[in-house]
Chains A and B, each alone.
Chain A
Amino acid sequence: LAKTTQPISMDSYEGQEVNITCSHNNIATNDYITWYQQFPSQGPRFIIQGYKTKVTNEVASLFIPADRKSSTLSLPRVSLSDTAVYYCLVGADNTDKLIFGTGTRLQVFP
Protein backbone atom coordinates (compact mmCIF):
# COMPACT_ATOMS: atom_id res chain seq x y z
CA LEU A 1 0.00 0.00 0.00
CA ALA A 2 1.17 3.51 -0.83
CA LYS A 3 2.88 5.47 1.91
CA THR A 4 1.36 8.81 2.76
CA THR A 5 2.92 12.00 4.07
CA GLN A 6 0.98 14.66 5.94
CA PRO A 7 1.89 17.68 8.08
CA ILE A 8 2.20 16.66 11.70
CA SER A 9 0.07 19.50 12.99
CA MET A 10 -1.96 22.52 11.95
CA ASP A 11 -3.60 25.36 13.82
CA SER A 12 -6.69 27.27 12.80
CA TYR A 13 -9.39 29.54 14.20
CA GLU A 14 -13.10 29.03 14.33
CA GLY A 15 -14.89 29.91 11.12
CA GLN A 16 -11.86 29.46 8.88
CA GLU A 17 -11.49 26.94 6.08
CA VAL A 18 -8.83 24.34 6.72
CA ASN A 19 -7.02 22.45 3.98
CA ILE A 20 -4.90 19.45 4.85
CA THR A 21 -2.75 18.10 2.06
CA CYS A 22 -1.51 14.53 1.85
CA SER A 23 1.22 13.29 -0.47
CA HIS A 24 1.05 9.78 -1.91
CA ASN A 25 3.58 9.68 -4.73
CA ASN A 26 3.43 5.91 -5.15
CA ILE A 27 -0.33 5.60 -5.43
CA ALA A 28 -1.41 2.67 -7.61
CA THR A 29 -4.04 2.70 -10.32
CA ASN A 30 -6.61 0.85 -8.24
CA ASP A 31 -5.97 2.78 -5.02
CA TYR A 32 -8.60 4.96 -3.40
CA ILE A 33 -7.90 7.86 -1.03
CA THR A 34 -9.70 7.83 2.28
CA TRP A 35 -9.66 10.24 5.21
CA TYR A 36 -10.43 9.36 8.80
CA GLN A 37 -10.93 11.64 11.80
CA GLN A 38 -10.06 10.70 15.35
CA PHE A 39 -11.08 12.53 18.51
CA PRO A 40 -9.25 11.91 21.78
CA SER A 41 -10.33 8.72 23.50
CA GLN A 42 -12.28 7.55 20.46
CA GLY A 43 -11.62 5.31 17.50
CA PRO A 44 -11.04 6.71 14.01
CA ARG A 45 -14.13 7.73 12.07
CA PHE A 46 -14.56 7.68 8.30
CA ILE A 47 -14.92 11.15 6.76
CA ILE A 48 -14.64 10.91 3.00
CA GLN A 49 -13.28 8.81 0.17
CA GLY A 50 -12.40 9.56 -3.43
CA TYR A 51 -10.61 8.30 -6.50
CA LYS A 52 -10.12 11.40 -8.63
CA THR A 53 -11.27 15.02 -9.12
CA LYS A 54 -13.53 16.27 -6.34
CA VAL A 55 -15.79 14.62 -3.82
CA THR A 56 -18.03 16.51 -1.41
CA ASN A 57 -20.24 15.37 1.43
CA GLU A 58 -21.90 17.04 4.39
CA VAL A 59 -18.66 17.08 6.37
CA ALA A 60 -15.83 17.85 3.96
CA SER A 61 -14.55 18.07 0.41
CA LEU A 62 -11.74 16.06 -1.08
CA PHE A 63 -9.71 17.45 -3.96
CA ILE A 64 -7.58 15.09 -6.03
CA PRO A 65 -5.46 16.40 -8.94
CA ALA A 66 -5.16 14.54 -12.20
CA ASP A 67 -1.89 12.81 -11.31
CA ARG A 68 -3.40 11.62 -7.98
CA LYS A 69 -0.05 11.98 -6.24
CA SER A 70 -1.60 14.15 -3.59
CA SER A 71 -4.99 14.98 -2.15
CA THR A 72 -6.41 17.80 -0.07
CA LEU A 73 -9.04 17.47 2.61
CA SER A 74 -11.00 20.70 2.95
CA LEU A 75 -13.01 21.46 6.08
CA PRO A 76 -15.25 24.52 5.62
CA ARG A 77 -15.71 26.91 8.53
CA VAL A 78 -14.17 24.80 11.25
CA SER A 79 -15.41 24.88 14.81
CA LEU A 80 -13.76 23.96 18.10
CA SER A 81 -15.27 20.49 17.79
CA ASP A 82 -13.21 19.83 14.66
CA THR A 83 -10.08 19.64 16.79
CA ALA A 84 -8.88 16.11 16.09
CA VAL A 85 -6.30 14.04 14.27
CA TYR A 86 -6.94 13.55 10.57
CA TYR A 87 -5.53 10.52 8.76
CA CYS A 88 -5.02 10.13 5.04
CA LEU A 89 -5.04 6.50 3.86
CA VAL A 90 -4.44 5.04 0.44
CA GLY A 91 -5.41 1.56 -0.62
CA ALA A 92 -7.18 -0.55 -3.20
CA ASP A 93 -10.95 -0.64 -3.05
CA ASN A 94 -10.87 -4.36 -2.37
CA THR A 95 -8.32 -4.08 0.40
CA ASP A 96 -9.47 -4.49 3.95
CA LYS A 97 -6.33 -3.68 5.90
CA LEU A 98 -6.11 0.02 6.75
CA ILE A 99 -2.64 1.47 7.04
CA PHE A 100 -2.50 4.59 9.16
CA GLY A 101 0.27 7.13 8.99
CA THR A 102 1.10 9.70 11.62
CA GLY A 103 -1.93 11.83 10.83
CA THR A 104 -2.32 15.61 11.12
CA ARG A 105 -3.26 17.02 14.48
CA LEU A 106 -5.61 19.94 13.87
CA GLN A 107 -6.11 22.40 16.70
CA VAL A 108 -8.92 24.91 16.32
CA PHE A 109 -8.79 28.00 18.51
CA PRO A 110 -11.65 30.33 19.44
Chain B
Amino acid sequence: DAGITQSPRYKITETGRQVTLMCHQTWSHSYMFWYRQDLGHGLRLIYYSAAADITDKGEVPDGYVVSRSKTENFPLTLESATRSQTSVYFCASTQGANEQFFGPGTRLTVL
Protein backbone atom coordinates (compact mmCIF):
# COMPACT_ATOMS: atom_id res chain seq x y z
CA ASP B 1 0.00 0.00 0.00
CA ALA B 2 1.22 3.49 -0.78
CA GLY B 3 1.97 5.91 2.01
CA ILE B 4 3.64 5.70 5.37
CA THR B 5 2.97 2.86 7.76
CA GLN B 6 4.00 2.06 11.28
CA SER B 7 4.11 -1.21 13.14
CA PRO B 8 3.07 -2.32 15.57
CA ARG B 9 0.18 0.05 16.23
CA TYR B 10 0.06 -0.95 19.88
CA LYS B 11 2.79 -2.41 22.07
CA ILE B 12 3.02 -3.26 25.73
CA THR B 13 6.43 -4.13 27.11
CA GLU B 14 8.28 -4.27 30.38
CA THR B 15 11.00 -2.07 31.79
CA GLY B 16 14.43 -3.09 30.56
CA ARG B 17 13.28 -4.84 27.39
CA GLN B 18 14.39 -3.87 23.93
CA VAL B 19 11.66 -2.67 21.62
CA THR B 20 11.81 -1.75 17.95
CA LEU B 21 9.19 0.37 16.24
CA MET B 22 9.05 0.13 12.47
CA CYS B 23 8.35 2.82 9.93
CA HIS B 24 8.01 2.30 6.19
CA GLN B 25 7.27 4.80 3.43
CA THR B 26 6.65 4.15 -0.24
CA TRP B 27 7.31 7.63 -1.65
CA SER B 28 11.13 7.43 -1.62
CA HIS B 29 11.18 10.59 0.48
CA SER B 30 14.66 11.63 1.52
CA TYR B 31 13.77 12.75 5.03
CA MET B 32 12.26 10.63 7.74
CA PHE B 33 11.47 11.54 11.34
CA TRP B 34 10.53 10.02 14.66
CA TYR B 35 8.45 11.97 17.17
CA ARG B 36 6.91 11.20 20.49
CA GLN B 37 3.72 12.82 21.67
CA ASP B 38 2.97 13.28 25.34
CA LEU B 39 0.32 15.21 27.18
CA GLY B 40 1.70 18.56 28.19
CA HIS B 41 4.72 18.31 25.90
CA GLY B 42 3.15 18.13 22.51
CA LEU B 43 5.11 16.57 19.70
CA ARG B 44 8.88 16.27 20.20
CA LEU B 45 11.46 15.22 17.66
CA ILE B 46 13.55 12.21 18.66
CA TYR B 47 15.70 11.58 15.59
CA TYR B 48 15.59 12.42 11.94
CA SER B 49 17.34 11.26 8.83
CA ALA B 50 18.17 13.20 5.69
CA ALA B 51 19.00 10.12 3.62
CA ALA B 52 20.05 6.51 3.96
CA ASP B 53 22.92 6.16 6.45
CA ILE B 54 22.52 9.77 7.65
CA THR B 55 20.82 10.38 10.97
CA ASP B 56 20.72 13.31 13.38
CA LYS B 57 19.54 13.83 16.92
CA GLY B 58 16.44 15.83 17.57
CA GLU B 59 15.15 17.35 20.76
CA VAL B 60 14.87 14.18 22.89
CA PRO B 61 17.22 11.44 21.56
CA ASP B 62 18.39 9.88 24.84
CA GLY B 63 17.41 6.23 25.24
CA TYR B 64 16.70 5.75 21.53
CA VAL B 65 18.67 4.38 18.61
CA VAL B 66 17.84 4.69 14.92
CA SER B 67 19.21 3.31 11.70
CA ARG B 68 18.49 3.93 8.05
CA SER B 69 20.06 1.30 5.83
CA LYS B 70 17.32 1.71 3.21
CA THR B 71 15.57 4.88 2.12
CA GLU B 72 12.13 3.50 2.79
CA ASN B 73 12.67 2.19 6.32
CA PHE B 74 13.50 4.04 9.52
CA PRO B 75 13.27 1.80 12.61
CA LEU B 76 13.39 3.25 16.11
CA THR B 77 14.83 1.09 18.89
CA LEU B 78 14.47 1.52 22.60
CA GLU B 79 17.45 -0.46 23.83
CA SER B 80 16.26 -0.73 27.44
CA ALA B 81 12.74 0.58 27.77
CA THR B 82 11.82 2.80 30.71
CA ARG B 83 8.41 3.89 31.96
CA SER B 84 9.14 7.44 30.89
CA GLN B 85 9.19 6.15 27.32
CA THR B 86 5.51 5.30 27.49
CA SER B 87 4.12 7.50 24.74
CA VAL B 88 2.61 7.67 21.30
CA TYR B 89 5.28 7.53 18.62
CA PHE B 90 4.82 9.04 15.18
CA CYS B 91 6.94 8.53 12.13
CA ALA B 92 6.92 11.08 9.32
CA SER B 93 8.57 11.66 5.98
CA THR B 94 9.12 14.50 3.55
CA GLN B 95 11.03 15.17 0.39
CA GLY B 96 12.47 18.48 1.53
CA ALA B 97 11.38 21.72 3.14
CA ASN B 98 7.80 20.76 2.60
CA GLU B 99 4.93 19.30 4.52
CA GLN B 100 5.65 16.16 6.46
CA PHE B 101 3.44 13.14 6.02
CA PHE B 102 2.72 11.36 9.25
CA GLY B 103 2.08 7.73 9.97
CA PRO B 104 -0.87 6.59 12.12
CA GLY B 105 1.25 6.28 15.28
CA THR B 106 2.34 3.53 17.65
CA ARG B 107 1.02 3.57 21.18
CA LEU B 108 3.74 2.15 23.46
CA THR B 109 3.20 1.28 27.09
CA VAL B 110 6.15 0.36 29.27
CA LEU B 111 5.16 -1.39 32.48
Tell whether A and B belong to one assembly: no
Residues in chain A within 8 A of chain B (CB atoms): none
Interface residues of B (CB under 8 A from A): none
